[in-house]
Structure 1
Amino acid sequence: MAYRHQFIADELRAQISTGRIKAGDRLPSESQLASRYTVSVPTLRNALAVLQGEGLIEKVHGLGNFVRQPLPRITYIGGSRTADAHAALAAGLHVSVRTARLKARGILTDLMQVPAGAALIEYRYLSLEDESPHSLSRVYVPGDTAQDDGYEAVEPSEGDSLVSRIAPNPPLAEVREKISARLPTNEEAMTLRISTALAVLSIERVVVDADGRVVEGALLVLPGDRADAVFTTHHPMSEERRAEG
């Protein structure tokens, strides 16, 4: 027999899919829904967490639970030396950018292969549709890479890496990417307005120059209900096969 919260989730999901509850509508309060289904508030919240994990509703702190608008897909294009470190964005999304100078600590020392305390510049990209967040990217470059007094003005653009814009024509040699699925941190969930029960696609991206120095590192967080990662490998044809062609 299905758990009570699963039954409630099925009921609400059916109402959303049939249009009885429309995109943008606010659900009744949690206490009202709990009373309607004769369950405790914690059980009701478990049901809502299921729908949040499926991307059907979102909880806006202080306002309640809302049915989400259909979400544009985000596609991360992997394996390229020239693709932006943040996700390639679907039409209709825009990106806000914040920058900060900081010292390498914790995971950043491993990501950038620098000692603790080394100067870094962080570029924080948040993609949005209107005011709804879609992905979070934090891109790091060594503090001596960016041009003096010009780093605040860097803006993202498709097909052009961050490093190539702040340090023209860098002799790049390698791009390394590590992808994993995990639950978001509380800060990530709040920033992206997602449930802490919704899995995210976590990508660590490192760009290395010809001298073996890390010139760009990125930590990307893409919610699992709207993100794809695409990798294409081109294999060179052998001389024999080219001759046969």
Structure 2
Amino acid sequence: MARGTAKWEDLAGQLLRDIEAGAHPVLTQLPKVRELRAQGWSADAVRDAYRHLTALGYITVTHGVGHFVRDRTVVSVHRSNHGPAADEAMLEPWATDTAEQGLDGRMILIDLFAGEAPASVADMLQLTPDDYSVVRLTQHAVVVTPSAAASDQGEAASGPDSALSEETVLQIQEAWYPAHIARRAGLDVEGNLEGGTLRALTAAGLVGSATERFRYRLATQDERQTLQLPDGGYVLYIERLLVDPDGNVAEFQRVTAVPDRTEVVYKDLQLVRQ
């Protein structure tokens, strides 16, 4: 033990070296508390070491089960894949971004809501007081990660339905549309849209330009649970306001993303006014 260090720091350092050396592959479970206590570590040292590695983003906790090595692969989100100029043959933008990086990404529809918008959303959509009717789509952007056991057993053991793989939610996407816009673009029906919502809006002639705002903020309790973030964790928060060619608001979107696994890339920005 290095002079002046607490025992939990020694244990955390040992576990971290093992993780980085590949002794504990992604998604594998780390030794249980009782196993480490049998090796001479105190319960307090184990608890503090695991808490420290969780805060650093190296491990996640499944309560009642144990601690697991976290996948820390960064996903590049190319905004050029998310606009009307995207190739019609392309997959949905998230699937396109992840496939380009050799990852298995999917969009999962969580909820489709049709009803009255909250006042704050109605203001963003510039709805009139006599008609707050909207459609809201809530989706999760996930990456399917095969475990070490799945890799050992080959492709037959992998896939989203396999116990040897894990769907990790990297983004929570919530998009609001005026009801007449949703009907025109076909966004008011159940099921994932082929090519994504932007392709549907583009096909309906509803895409003009967009304004995006980025910031970091503390995650809410629900966001921490969904995105598997530690207590006190932050999220990358994005708001996008999309308007049609006439300047009418067609979409208000909120994206909440895991910050250390998200890289936002803008390509071919036009910096000189034409």
What TM-score results when the alignment is normalised by the length of structure 1?
0.76
Which letter maps to 1:140?
A: W
* Change in 2 beyond 3 A, CA 1:74/1:236: closer
Give yes or no for contact 1:78–1:229 (8 Å, CA) kept in 2. no
Note the 1:1-245 alignment, pairs <5 A. Answer: 6-30=9-33, 33=36, 36-38=40-42, 40=44, 44-69=46-71, 71=73, 73-77=75-79, 81-82=83-84, 89-91=97-99, 92-98=104-110, 99-105=112-118, 107-114=120-127, 118-128=132-142, 129=144, 130=160, 131-147=167-183, 151-155=189-193, 157=195, 160-164=198-202, 168-170=204-206, 172-232=207-267, 233-236=269-272
- Aligned twin of 1:241: none
Which shows bigger deviation, 81-90 or 117-126?
A: 81-90
- Residue by residue over 1:47-98, the C-alpha shift from the partner in whole angstroms, topping out at 9 and shown as x without a partner, is 4344334432122243221112453514152796537787963121111113
Give yes or no for contact 1:79–1:175 (8 Å, CA) kept in 2. no
CA distance in 2, matches of 1:75, 1:34: 43
CA distance in 1, matches of 2:119, 2:32: 41
Counterpart secondary structure, 1:190: helix
State the 1:137 CA deviation: 0.9
The structure whose RCO (Cα within 8 Å, separation 6+) is larger is: 1
* Change in 2 beyond 3 A, CA 1:215/1:7: farther
The RMSD of aligned alpha carbons is 3.5
What TM-score results when the alignment is normalised by the length of structure 2?
0.69
Which shows bigger deviation, 214-223 or 65-74?
A: 65-74
Q: Which runs of 5+ in 1 are unaligned?
A: 239-245
* Change in 2 beyond 3 A, CA 1:56/1:142: same
Give yes or no for contact 1:185–1:196 (8 Å, CA) kept in 2. no
Which shows bigger deviation, 145-154 or 220-229?
A: 145-154
Give yes or no for contact 2:109–2:191 (8 Å, CA) kept in 1. no
CA distance in 2, matches of 1:29, 1:93: 31
- Residue by residue over 1:182-230, the C-alpha shift from the partner in whole angstroms, topping out at 9 and shown as x without a partner, is 2221111111222233332110011022443221011111101210112
CA distance in 2, matches of 1:110, 1:9: 49
State the 1:126 CA deviation: 1.0
- Residue by residue over 1:144-175, the C-alpha shift from the partner in whole angstroms, topping out at 9 and shown as x without a partner, is 2222885224515269445235xx112x4431
Q: Which runs of 5+ in 2 are unaligned?
A: 87-91, 145-159, 161-166
Identity of aligned residues (%): 21
